[in-house]
Amino acid sequence: MQIRVNSEKCNGCGLCTDICPCDVLRLNGETGLAEGKYERDCWYCGACELDCPTQAITVHLPYMIS
């Protein structure tokens, strides 16, 4: 999983779902918390991690094979 959301920190504000340029993140319908729904579309721009007001998101870069 590339996008990790700390459920103890996320307050469900939805900011990350609004700012993600790739539409990767969603609020879970049951928990109301953010989750990485379409992680294959992630560009690793880091905007969600930087802008989350509670520092709930960590973006893990994939291993690069050259």
Residues that bind ligand SF4 (CB under 6 A): 3, 5, 10-16, 20-22, 24-25, 34, 42-48, 52-54, 56-57, 59
Q: How far is the CB of 54 from ligand SF4 (least distance, A)?
A: 5
Measured CA distances, 15 to 6, 8, 18, 25, 29 (Å): 15, 17, 5, 10, 16
Q: What is the distance between the alpha carbons of residues 63 and 30, in angstroms, rounded to a whole number?
A: 32
| Cβ nearer to ligand SF4, comparing 24 with 66 | 24
- Token pair, residue 38, equals 């379409």
Q: How far is the CB of 47 from ligand SF4 (least distance, A)?
A: 4
